Structure 1
Amino acid sequence: MTASTRNVAPALARDSTPSAPATSRVAGLDGLRAFAVAVVVAFHLTPGAVVGGYLGVDVFFVVSGFIITRLLLAERARTGGIRLGGFWRRRARRLLPALAVLLLVTSTVALFVGGDVLVGLGGQLFGAVTFSSNWYYIATGSDYFAETAPELYRNLWSLAVEEQFYLLWPVLVLLVIVRIARPTRIVLLAAATVASALAMALLLTPGDPTRVYYGTGTHAFGLTLGALLAVVSQWWSARPLEWPRAARRALGWAGAVALAGLVALAVWMPGTAEWTYSGGLQGVAVLTAVVITAALVPASPLARGLELPPLRWVGERSYGIYLWHWPVFVLLVAALPSWRADTGLAWALGGIAAAVTVVAAALSYRFIETPIRRDGFRAVARRWAAGWRRPGRAVVASATATLLVLAGTAGTAIALVTQPAESEVQQRIEEGQRALEQTPSPSPTPTADAEQPGPPVQLRGDQITAIGDSVMLAAVPELQAAFPGIQIDAAVSRQMSVAPDLIQGLRDAGALRPVVVLALGTNGSISVDALERVRQIIGPDRELVVVTAQAPRGWIPTVNQRLAAFAWQYRNVELADWYTAVQPHLGELARDQVHFGHVGAGIFTATIQEALQRLAALPPLRDEAADESLPRPV
């Protein structure tokens, strides 16, 4: 290597015009898109197999921020300006046709499937066409990692975030970014990235990440980091000899390690863990930026690996695959309710959904997306209109397209008119809430009458205080029928951490009964300290039943282990093992695998009843005073 070549650093040290046109295609990005969409699809279609697959969305964010900024800067370098109208028109060509077809087709299919898939359809469609889905789901309290209601277009939240970026970012680039010095650009974008990442971590509500996950500002760090990389790399050389060998080698290894890190996080990073939002997703964005940086190195081995034809094929169609996979899966699950996890057919259902998704995305790419992106809306419309004047296949194609559009429009309109107001799970929860509202206020703590005939104290409803979350709410009618007079205090999203204060309040008011039932493990982890505080508050004269939890959430195994150990430790504490009791009957649960209908509520009630019977069967404790008369060992 000559001295002149050896001393030339990448363009980080230069502020001259790029040596290669920034509009040139970046090798490897299609492969990175393929990885991103593959892990997202696996996360949704094979629940539990790839627990962190949702991170594919964050990979998309970084790639999108990089590409969009790179294109805008390249246009200004080439023409001296940025045509906002032209940019937005190209984005519309790219995004709108496939989205319109998806909405018309799946809304019409949802009409024939019926049931819960139609719940909230109008709001979801409005959010989809206005690219505000993320804010719609925030307003309605949707949880991306739960499935209380099968929201047909939940996956479009990320498209909304990207489109909001596409609308605002070109204006900022035109008015601000290109008008300030290069170091200031870098500092400004770095500050925006750090601010968004910190906002996600600091504004997180434990146990409920909905607001920070869906929020545009709290989830924009991937987009701004991609934009930052585009600004920094604008002056990097495309000639291999202008890169020091050590830099090429180091970035090559860094890119491979970063890609391996993304794979590891896709397998092991649960969406329910707090660290996911306090460093996990931010780390995903950084790792993705490292992979892109490595792909920018001329003759990059990593880029060549990501350019394999199958990966390129999937990457080019990744937008359509992402659009279709979730609505297809939701519709299949609703249409085939017997294909539940307990039947062993859940994976087959995911496989069918994947096959339908790939076919739909391929057809959309070939016949809708590509022609419109290449020729524009007007040219495609003219060809469609001309088809009516030609004999043979042209007129058949035009007629078929017209009929499909009319059928989709009519089906969507009917679906909007007939959509139900709420899902079955919501109906059950509201039914429980109404039942509680109609129940008289709790009376002071009753005293047991040993001479009174009837069931044991533990089986009499007027001796039981039950505290729970939405699972208990869904079982209120059955609990009240099994234990007339039972006192129930249940609320949606309640966690075990609030139990000590609730029980203390009831005790202070003289309304805490001799037997306390706690069912609060569904919505978050529990601490042994909280359980010990509960036991101290109820005192030695009362008995406690703790109920295990069933939910497809990462904290459930630990919750159930702690509850079982706590019940085993104390004589006056009994375990109602709802988790074990429901495993043979998972098909009776709702799609979220948490709530239930009448049959599931019966099993839940029977589990508590059996625990109470075990408590009633225990012999009474001996009187310590009487024990004083017994002979003592010498």
Structure 2
Amino acid sequence: MSHEPAPTFALAAGRIHYAGLDGLRAIAVAAVLVYHLFPRALPGGFIGVDVFFVISGFLITSLLLREKASTGRVDLRSFWGRRARRILPALVIVVTASTTAALLVGGDVLVRIGRQILGAATFSYNWVAVAGGGSYFDQLSPEMFRTLWSLAVEEQFYIVWPLLLLALLFVRSRWARAAVLVVAAAGSAIWMATLFMPGGDATRVYYGTDTHAFGLLIGAALAVLLEGRLGAGLPRAAGRATRIAIDAAGTAALVGIGVAMVVLGDAADATYRGGLAVASVLTVVVIAAAIRPDSRLGARLDAGALRWMGRRSYGIYLWHWPIFTLLLAGAGGATSQAPPLAASVLAVLITLVVAELSFRFAENPVRRRGFAGCVRAFGRAVRTRTPRTIVAASTALVLVALAGSTLTAIAVAPQKSTVEALIAHARQAAHTRSVAPSAQPSTRPTVTGDNITAVGDSVMLAAAPALQEAFPGIDVDAKVSRSMYAAPGILRRLDDEGRLRGTVVLGLGTNGPISKSTLADVARVLGPQRQLVLVSAFAPRDWIAGVNAELGDFASRHRTTVLADWCGDIEPRSRELLAGDGIHPGEKGGEVYAKSIAAALQALADLPPAAGTQHGHNLPVAR
């Protein structure tokens, strides 16, 4: 691997290649792949998308500024045409080929595929998903094209930004222009932090173009700041010490991005309250250091394998998630939160091969010749009696077949996944029982259902019929995607409504980590007069062990709190009694859930009389 300084740019066919950016793209897409395919290895790998945003904002803005400087105008039609040639070939192939494969596999992988394709075709996937209640972090439905949200954000930027840039150019000072963009980026980051609700689903703030534009804008600010220097070359560092300092700053920023990918999870408050914005600023520092003519950092980032992967990063990003989702669907019962290692490795290998084929035979030809040029070349191949005729005819047949199977898939796609159907059935069954509760009294020598308030997430929602059967009169308040962070607010609301009963069951550990402070808030809301049952969590997710440890520790320190061991009770029978996602209970699994809570209530009933204090009484886990 050569460590010689790479040129800032190389002119070829009217294009500029900035040193280091291919390698930075490679790091970004590799992080995203690890986050999706090996989810326990890199909790913050999704930050790779923000690195892409900064690179895109920088490159697109520098391209527009060079065109304006050299021709005196910006040809918007030509600009958008180039974007279409770059984006559409791989996108169309990915969508049609993946949908065809999904039609063959069948099942949940086809859920709402029409809505997904609509979002992909109109570059509005992020807003279509938000409007339809879709979630980037929810595993109830395995959306095959979920990752296209980021492409939608970029394309919306490509449409609007050239027009705004032309207006911004009326500001004479490039420093003032850059300042405007920095302020706009800060506004977007602050808007994300403002709309983010701890403990809630973060999809709206993560998907939103308004809340997630700061990376694109800060990248554009760098290009504006370097306006007039990008085409002719940046000045070299004044001396060896300065060059070393600049490289050191860029390297430190790159390390900082890596640290962020390790410590920032998709459920962490810090991620949405400045974490992603800081990662974007660090990316700007890396770019500014790498593109200098004498940058050793740029040379290292441009080294062989990184440059190869960076040039194919778009195709790799498009292909990896549909391939992975299809492999998991074919494996049956596997989830993207805890996928079999073999499926993840196989997904990587297939993705790299398919991305290379797409890059060589679809993306590059269209980018070089344009759509019309490729059609003419195709026509010549059909007319000549050569082996190319067979290839061209076969290609045409494949394209027609892909289009037909895609339309067929849209027509037959289910609107609910099996887990969503299970939860909907449980919700309906629970509603029916709450309207006409069973007259059968509880046979257990514990508190009766009419003195229990149960608050939970989708796991409790799926088990609600079993809870109402076991504890007639129980008040179940359970919803999808809740986490423990929301518990204090929910309990206060129920207390204000007069629905907070003497015994509270809390099942909110599935969807994210929990903290001691949140549990302390729960205790304050409940007060000393109420009993609390904390339900342990079971799911193929990284934070479950920590969640259960926190719950167990809290229960051991509070006399009127006990842990219902749902995790220990269901684990031996999880394959038999849980849905395909390995999280939500079916009918028999719901009965196990209810029995876990019944055992906890019995443990509370067996407590000796209070000795004048609520603390210091170690309770065994209820089984």
TM-score, normalised on structure 2?
0.88
Q: Deviations over 1:72-129 (max 9, x none)?
A: 1111122221111111111000000110001100111111111111111111111101
Which residue identity does 2:341 align to in structure 1? Answer: W
Q: Deviations over 1:157-200 (max 9, x none)?
A: 00000001111111122343266432331222122122112211
Q: Name the counterpart of 2:42.
A: 50
Q: Name the counterpart of 2:4.
A: none
Q: Name the counterpart of 2:98.
A: 106
Q: Name the counterpart of 1:606.
A: 595
Q: Deviations over 1:356-394 (max 9, x none)?
A: 111111111110000000001111111212222222421
SS of match in other structure, 1:27: coil
Query: Which consecutive residues of structure 1, in runs of 5 or more, have no partner in the other structure?
Result: 1-17, 447-451, 625-634
Cα deviation, residue 571, structure 1: 4.2
Q: Name the counterpart of 1:480.
A: 468
1:378-397 aligned at under 5 Å gives the runs: 378-397=372-391
Q: Tell me, yes or no, if structure 1 residue 597 matches structure 2 residue 586.
A: yes
SS of match in other structure, 2:227: helix
Cα deviation, residue 226, structure 1: 0.9
| CA distance 1:227–1:592, shift in 2 (3 Å) | farther
| CA distance 1:203–1:547, shift in 2 (3 Å) | same
Q: Name the counterpart of 2:455.
A: 467
Indicate which of 13, 17, 22 corresponds to 1:25. Answer: 17
SS of match in other structure, 1:262: helix
**Aligned equivalents of 2:487 and 2:38: distance in 1?**
30
1:352-431 aligned at under 5 Å gives the runs: 352-431=346-425
Contact 2:174 2:227 in 1 (8 A): no
1:433-444 aligned at under 5 Å gives the runs: 433-440=427-434
| CA distance 1:322–1:241, shift in 2 (3 Å) | closer
Indicate which of 523, 527, 539 corresponds to 1:536. Answer: 527
| CA distance 1:604–1:249, shift in 2 (3 Å) | same
| CA distance 1:244–1:260, shift in 2 (3 Å) | same
SS of match in other structure, 2:273: coil
Q: Deviations over 1:564-611 (max 9, x none)?
A: 123223444321122333444554545655433335434323322332
Q: Name the counterpart of 1:9.
A: none
Cα deviation, residue 534, structure 1: 5.1
| CA distance 1:356–1:598, shift in 2 (3 Å) | farther
Indicate which of 67, 76, 82 corresponds to 2:68. Answer: 76
Q: Name the counterpart of 2:264.
A: 269
Q: Deviations over 1:109-161 (max 9, x none)?
A: 11111111111111111110100011112112322223221111110000000
Rg: which structure is higher? 1
| CA distance 1:167–1:221, shift in 2 (3 Å) | same
1:551-590 aligned at under 5 Å gives the runs: 551=539, 556-587=544-575, 589-590=578-579
Which residue identity does 1:533 align to in structure 2? Answer: R
Q: Name the counterpart of 1:15.
A: none
Indicate which of 489, 511, 518 corresponds to 2:506. Answer: 518
Which residue identity does 2:179 align to in structure 1? Answer: V
Contact 2:315 2:358 in 1 (8 A): yes
Cα deviation, residue 210, structure 1: 1.5
**Aligned equivalents of 1:23 and 1:188: distance in 2?**
28
| CA distance 1:404–1:544, shift in 2 (3 Å) | same
**Aligned equivalents of 2:275 and 2:595: distance in 1?**
41
**Aligned equivalents of 1:211 and 1:106: distance in 2?**
26
Contact 1:141 1:210 in 2 (8 A): no
1:288-307 aligned at under 5 Å gives the runs: 288-307=283-302
Q: Name the counterpart of 1:121.
A: 113
Q: Tell me, yes or no, if structure 1 residue 214 matches structure 2 residue 213.
A: no
**Aligned equivalents of 2:436 and 2:532: distance in 1?**
18
Contact 2:462 2:584 in 1 (8 A): yes
Cα deviation, residue 295, structure 1: 1.1
Task: Tell me whether 314-323 or 163-172 shows the greater mean CA deviation.
Answer: 163-172
**Aligned equivalents of 2:124 and 2:155: distance in 1?**
9
| CA distance 1:239–1:599, shift in 2 (3 Å) | same
Contact 1:465 1:517 in 2 (8 A): yes
Contact 1:146 1:592 in 2 (8 A): no
| CA distance 1:572–1:256, shift in 2 (3 Å) | closer
| CA distance 1:482–1:380, shift in 2 (3 Å) | same
**Aligned equivalents of 2:284 and 2:385: distance in 1?**
53
Q: Name the counterpart of 1:309.
A: 304
Task: Tell me whether 237-246 or 249-258 shows the greater mean CA deviation.
Answer: 237-246
**Aligned equivalents of 1:29 and 1:255: distance in 2?**
12
| CA distance 1:499–1:95, shift in 2 (3 Å) | closer
**Aligned equivalents of 2:283 and 2:611: distance in 1?**
68
Indicate which of 50, 55, 66 corresponds to 1:63. Answer: 55
Q: Name the counterpart of 1:10.
A: none
**Aligned equivalents of 1:531 and 1:622: distance in 2?**
21
Q: Name the counterpart of 1:12.
A: none
Which residue identity does 1:298 align to in structure 2? Answer: P
Cα deviation, residue 205, structure 1: 1.8
Contact 1:545 1:576 in 2 (8 A): yes
Cα deviation, residue 531, structure 1: 3.3
SS of match in other structure, 2:532: strand
Q: Deviations over 1:383-437 (max 9, x none)?
A: 2122222224211111211111111111111111111121122212222221232
Q: Name the counterpart of 1:489.
A: 477
Q: Name the counterpart of 2:182.
A: 190
Contact 2:419 2:581 in 1 (8 A): no
**Aligned equivalents of 1:197 and 1:466: distance in 2?**
36
Contact 1:93 1:372 in 2 (8 A): yes
Contact 1:503 1:534 in 2 (8 A): no
Q: Deviations over 1:264-311 (max 9, x none)?
A: 222221111111111211111111111111112212111110111111
Indicate which of 320, 332, 339 corresponds to 2:315. Answer: 320
**Aligned equivalents of 2:96 and 2:251: distance in 1?**
41
Cα deviation, residue 462, structure 1: 5.3
Cα deviation, residue 484, structure 1: 4.5
Cα deviation, residue 512, structure 1: 3.1
**Aligned equivalents of 1:297 and 1:183: distance in 2?**
19
Q: Name the counterpart of 1:5.
A: none
**Aligned equivalents of 1:536 and 1:428: distance in 2?**
35
**Aligned equivalents of 1:573 and 1:267: distance in 2?**
34
Contact 1:294 1:303 in 2 (8 A): yes
Which residue identity does 1:564 align to in structure 2? Answer: G
| CA distance 1:292–1:375, shift in 2 (3 Å) | same
| CA distance 1:331–1:364, shift in 2 (3 Å) | same
Contact 2:488 2:525 in 1 (8 A): no
Q: Deviations over 1:27-56 (max 9, x none)?
A: 111111100100001100011111110001
**Aligned equivalents of 1:320 and 1:242: distance in 2?**
36
**Aligned equivalents of 2:591 and 2:197: distance in 1?**
33
